Amino acid sequence: MTTAPPEWLPGSMRSPLDDKLGIEVVDFDPDRLVATMPVAGNEQPFGLLHGGATCALVETIGSVAAAVGAGPGKQVVGIELNASYLRAATSGTVTAVCTPVRRGRTLSTFLIEVTDDAGRTTATARLTCMTLTDRQ
């Protein structure tokens, strides 16, 4: 990990679904967040990485990026996700790299590229998140 999570980020933003899928955020750089997920255990019946698992990975890293950008005390929610699958992943680990397109007061948009162990792009996605009022 080159950039550690901010101290104020609750539990590094881990969810029970992240635990089930094996999603790990490995770099919290606000301009380039990175997360990984194993293919094993996340396949569809034909042995390929499940598209829903890919979307969960993308939603996780994009939501963490939105939370980091929003700052302490804010809550973020995804409001739009668009994903394109370009190549099947059948083994190893996939890596998602999330970069901001726009960080606004209420809306933030991120581009996420998912690659396999060989560095080949398996999916691309765009996630837009809304920042809600301060948490109570």
Q: Is 118 helix (H, G, I), strand (E, B) or coil?
A: coil
Q: How many CB atoms lie within 10 A of CB 12?
A: 13
The answer to whether 7 is a known catalytic residue is no
Q: How many CB atoms lie within 10 A of CB 63?
A: 20
Residue among 7, 24, 43, 59 flagged as catalytic: 59
Question: If you count DSSP H runs as helices and E runs as strands, how many of each does the chain have, helices first?
Answer: 2, 6
**Active-site annotation, residues:** 59
